[in-house]
């Protein structure tokens, strides 16, 4: 690994060190215990009920799924190579949709409660290691009791290090109600 990549990895891992590490995750069911509370990320869903998320950043399309063993081995816009086709939590689809790089494995995840300012919504970071050529994906899931899942791909912020964000009731200590409550109306002028 080149020195500049190793340096950024050390910085990224140091940032996690000030976070509160969670217990070993149940990767088969997308659950983890953090500070005595069980979080169930299998509740993260798109409005259509699917658990596969995607988002654009620049010329790339990013895909994410941490349930049911991860992303399918191949689907429109994200064909993985045969030797790297199973267990991917994230994928980076190249323009044209003919190649997809694995950027983190479902089986190599760790969870941590992130430090946030007083009064801010809780954030849980899930780190997925084991991507192709050492790629790592960070998924920051912010507590939002009004949605099951809103995904934002921020992309590759350093070589081989990817950042994705999600807003979901699954990151709230109380979990998701069924259905989540509607968003609050904007204040009147």
- Span 59-90, pLDDT tens digits: 999 999 999 999 998 888 889 998 899 999 99
The more confident residue out of 5 and 188 is 188
Which residue pairs, CB below 8 angstroms and at least 24 apart, start in 38-41?
39/111, 39/124, 39/170, 39/171, 39/175, 40/170, 40/175, 40/176, 41/66, 41/67, 41/126, 41/141, 41/168, 41/170, 41/171
Convert the pLDDT of each residue in 135-164 to its tens digit.
999 999 999 999 999 999 999 999 999 999
Flag whether pLDDT at 17 surpasses 80: no
pLDDT-derived band at 97, boundaries 50, 70, 90: confident
Q: What is the pLDDT at residue 96?
A: 85
Higher pLDDT among residues 185 and 102, named by residue: 102
Query: pLDDT digits over 110-132, tens only?
Result: 999 999 999 999 999 999 999 99
The confidence band for 14, taking pLDDT boundaries of 50, 70 and 90, is very low
pLDDT band at 13 (very low <50, low <70, confident <90, very high): very low
The strand ranges marked E within the chain are 20-21, 31-34, 37-40, 53-57, 60-64, 74-75, 78-79, 88-93, 100-105, 109-113, 123-128, 136-143, 150-158, 161-168
What Cα–Cα distance (Å) separates residue 165 from each residue in 73, 85, 96, 99, 155?
Answer: 23, 23, 24, 23, 10
pTM of the model: 0.84
Percent above pLDDT 90 for the chain: 71
pLDDT of residue 32: 97
Q: What is the pLDDT of residue 69?
A: 93
Q: What angle do CA 97, 28, 159 make, to 5 degrees?
A: 45
Pairwise CA distance, residues 30 & 147, whole Å: 18
């Amino acid at each position: 690994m080149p020195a500049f990549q190793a340096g950024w990895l050390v910085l990224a891992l140091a940032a996690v060190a000030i976070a509160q590490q969670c217990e070993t995750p149940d990767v088969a069911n997308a659950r983890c215990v953090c500070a005595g509370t069980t979080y169930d990320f299998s509740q993260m869903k798109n409005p259509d009920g699917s658990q596969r998320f995607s988002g654009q950043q620049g010329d790339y399309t990013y895909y994410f799924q941490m349930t049911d063993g991860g992303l399918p081995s191949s689907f429109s816009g994200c064909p993985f190579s045969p030797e790297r086709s199973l267990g991917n939590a994230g994928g980076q689809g190249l323009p044209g949709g003919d190649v997809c790089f694995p950027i983190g494995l479902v089986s190599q995840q760790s969870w941590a409660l992130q430090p946030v300012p007083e009064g801010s919504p809780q954030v849980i970071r899930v780190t997925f290691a084991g991507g192709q050529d050492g790629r790592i994906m960070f998924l920051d899931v912010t507590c939002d009791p009004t949605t099951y899942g809103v995904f934002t791909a921020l992309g590759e912020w350093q070589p081989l290090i990817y950042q994705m964000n999600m807003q979901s009731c699954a990151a709230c200590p109380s979990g998701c109600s069924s259905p989540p409550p509607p968003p609050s109306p904007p204040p009147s002028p």
